[in-house]
Amino acid sequence: MELQIKEAISAALKALYDHTVSAEEIALQPTRKEFEGTYTFVTFPFARVSRKSPEQTATDIGEHIQANAAEVAAFNVVKGFLNISLSEASQVNQFAGIFNGADVSQSAIFQQPATGKTVVVEYSSPNTNKPLHLGHLRNNFLGNSVSRILAAAGNNVQKVQIINDRGIHICKSMLAWQKFGEGETPESSGLKGDHLVGKYYVAFDKAYKAEIAELVAGGMGKEQAEKEAPLLLEAQAMLKKWEAKDPEVYALWEKMNGWVYSGFNATYERMGVDFDKLYYESDTYLIGRDRVMEGLEKGVFYKKEDGSVWVDLTDEGLDEKLLLRSDGTSVYMTQDIGTALMRFDDYPDLSQLIYTVGNEQEYHFKVLFLILKKLGYAWADACYHLSYGMVDLPSGKMKSREGTVVDADDLMQEMADTAKARTEELGKIEGFTEEQAKELYEMLGLGAIKYFLLKVDPRKRMLFNPEESIEFQGNTGPFVQYTHARISAILRKAQQLGVSMEDINFDGIEEVHQNEKDLIYALSTYPEKLQLAADTYSPAIIAQYVYDLAKEYNRFYTELSIFNESDDTLQQFRVALSALTAQTIKVGMGLLGIQVPERM
């Protein structure tokens, strides 16, 4: 429909002013609620070719398209804005074109043609020395949602993560467990494995700071004390042993990482996220190290007197970057080089590799992509950093080493508990079994977190407010979920009354109310919103869309009767509108990784 209106305007510009503009170049926007119309065309840029005022230009074009396009029923002009009203028949036909009978899940708006492109999306990528926290929730929900959106837009999407299972931070937890653990295990402690290992990461930091304070009290400078504290030296020695595959250190590493993976898997399952392939830093750093040594031989990199290997990026406006330490051990950049190589080997037809990583790593990825180019990999241009802002709490910034992070497991449980309290308070679980109620609380609690974290543009830093996120009114997940449950109840009633959505006589609908027109228009824009979200990697566009659609439906439901409508065809039509709205909300929320309840 939108394309037909654009083609009519294109023809009008040619006929009236002999000015050629393709339909694709013409921009339409939805008409504002206070004015009559469906689409608005801004004529200010065309006043120079018409040599008339924007108002007269809009009037000329309006008269031409009304006379020549059957889809246009009327128009009005507000300054240089041409508001276009569609004919009743065209709007009914528009809905008929996207409605697919009783099986609304098969509507044409949800079926995007295959692009033939393979896209790899990396997200999560945790360290194995601590449990997942609030920041990881935004990362996981963002990466998973972008993957779903890209897949819905027709791409072959592979979801991956790199597990940072080696390095000095891992050795810190291992060393602290050796010194202070007394053989504690997840079974003996009653803690999830990732929580137990995180406990010892915090313990290391506490003991390390105590050693620094003692050295400083003895007369040593703080900077020197930080480098020479016995615990840190032991951790560094352990890292060297690990890279040398020392049997005792390696066995401890495998055992503690096993605890962490078990804990992570439980958290991922509750989050509702998954992966198609896992990469481990303990594998990829070796490949990266080999490529660095090859680059050194070719003169791409250089070695300093202490034996460390560097890349000089000053000509590119950056600085020098360490690639291998003087003792030969690897850094993050080393493993990231290896990881990129493995992924392009695993997916030879890869069109794009997307890294979902916080914006504090923007410099890191600029350097990585430049290094890959210097090594001669043409596919470096296919690498993209999906940078997102950090998540703050009303209490301030989180710090892992000090144990002040908001644990992901605790937060998800807290949200489910809050959903339970709010739902019981509002009396929305009448007739539910205990198991059904528990499932609803989980759905609402997780929906609240996901929606709140995803409705904000990924690039923006944000403040997460748990209390605000669980509200049943306003731009929240529970509001959209409740709207879906309300529509589902209407559809159940329609079924009980024998109102069928099959074989609707669309030709028999002579008049369409403005609320119905608005709802049809909102439904018709789903493919456009999906493509925009895919192009910009922004689930916030989908979140805003489902919220606006839910509000539009609530206006429709308030203004128009469904079951008191005496015209059977019109009643069928309104039930069909309700059904497609419910399915669109369900699909849209599904792109955010959010489930919607059938009843509340």
Q: In this structure, are residues 554 and 482 in contact, taking their beta carbons and an 8 Å threshold? A: no
Under 8 Å CB-to-CB from 334, ≥6 apart: which residues? 285, 288, 289, 292, 323, 324
pLDDT at 406: 83
Closest CA to 40 of 4, 1, 75, 3: 75
pLDDT at 404: 52
Q: Which residue has the tokens 């790199």?
A: 162
Closest CA to 253 of 166, 326, 344: 166
Looking from the CA of 301 toward its CB, the CA atoms found within 13 Å total: 27
Q: In this structure, are residues 2 and 28 in contact, taking their beta carbons and an 8 Å threshold? A: yes
Structure tokens at 80: 């240089």
Q: In this structure, are residues 509 and 92 in contact, taking their beta carbons and an 8 Å threshold? A: yes
User: DSSP letter at 314?
Assistant: G
| CA distance linking residue 87 with residue 308, whole number of Å | 73
Q: In this structure, are residues 471 and 479 in contact, taking their beta carbons and an 8 Å threshold? A: yes
Residue 230 CB: number of other CB atoms within 10 A? 12
Under 8 Å CB-to-CB from 59, ≥6 apart: which residues? 77
Characterize the bridge pairing of strands 391-392 and 462-463: parallel
Closest CA to 194 of 295, 94, 142, 124: 124
pLDDT at 562: 95
Closest CA to 59 of 118, 116, 16, 5: 16
pLDDT at 403: 46
Give the Å distances, CA to CA, from 415 to 47, 420, 425, 458, 478.
55, 9, 15, 22, 12
φ/ψ (deg, to 5) at 321: -130, 130
φ/ψ (deg, to 5) at 39: -115, 150
User: DSSP letter at 115?
Assistant: -
Give the Å distances, CA to CA, from 445 to 18, 470, 519, 589.
59, 7, 28, 14
Structure tokens at 358: 């916080």
Residues of the chain with pLDDT below 70 are 395-405
Q: In this structure, are residues 136 and 126 in contact, taking their beta carbons and an 8 Å threshold? A: yes
φ/ψ (deg, to 5) at 322: -70, 135
Beta bridge pairs of residue 127: 164
| CA distance linking residue 257 with residue 193, whole number of Å | 9
| CA distance linking residue 305 with residue 314, whole number of Å | 20
| CA distance linking residue 79 with residue 77, whole number of Å | 6
Q: Supply angle C-alpha 109, 112, 117, rounded to 5.
A: 165
The residue type found at 35 is: F
Closest CA to 488 of 557, 565, 438, 591: 557
Give the Å distances, CA to CA, from 76 to 45, 58, 84, 89, 469.
18, 9, 7, 20, 41
pLDDT at 428: 78
Structure tokens at 203: 């313990």
pLDDT at 435: 94
pTM attached to this predicted model: 0.91
SS (HEC) of 401-453:
CCCCCCEHHHHHHHHHHHHHHHHHHHCCCCCCCHHHHHHHHHHHHHHHHHHHH
| CA distance linking residue 408 with residue 458, whole number of Å | 19
pLDDT at 400: 42
